[in-house]
Amino acid sequence: MKRHLIKLLATFFYLGEMPFAPGTWGSAGGMLLYLAIGAETTIGHVCAFAAVTLIGFLVAGRAEGVFGTRDPKPVVIDEVAGIFLVFLGLRLTWPVILLGFILYRLFDILKPPPARRLERLAGSAGIMLDDLLCGLYAQAVLRLVGLLVKL
């Protein structure tokens, strides 16, 4: 795969090359894509999640070679896949969107177990799996909060 295409996809159309907080930019870009698909098109979200995740596994490990470092900061395709998992199957309201985004970023930064261990895996697995798990953590907390208060 050509270096330019790997960089384009791994950085989610260069959002990962923003000068500060590339993970936050990648998460925001992923959230905007999720919202652009529409509020009630779960099948569309599942298909987009599958596509982004597959692309992520294909390019993330190769991007290490392009950037010359392990788990390069500009690679944010993992954040895009992770943020999709936060919202899959949930009814989207502004509180859900905002809380979901904040929770995801918090889990992605803190990397609670076993996310930190997954991050240490080699190649695409280490880049992608921790973010997918953080997306599941954020969704679980959102669902628990939703049981306690109306979101």
82 phi and psi angles, rounded to 5 deg? -65, -40
Distance CA(72)–CA(63), nearest Å, equals: 8
For residue 127, the SS3 value is helix
Give residue-wise pLDDT tens across range 31-88. Answer: 999 999 987 778 999 999 999 999 999 999 999 999 999 999 999 999 999 999 999 9
**90, 99 Cβ separation under 8 angstroms:** no
pLDDT at 32: 96
Residue 151: the pLDDT is 83
| Tens-place pLDDT, residues 84-135 | 999 999 999 999 999 999 999 999 999 999 999 999 999 999 999 999 999 9
Q: What gap in Å lies between CA 140 and CA 151, rounded to an integer?
A: 14
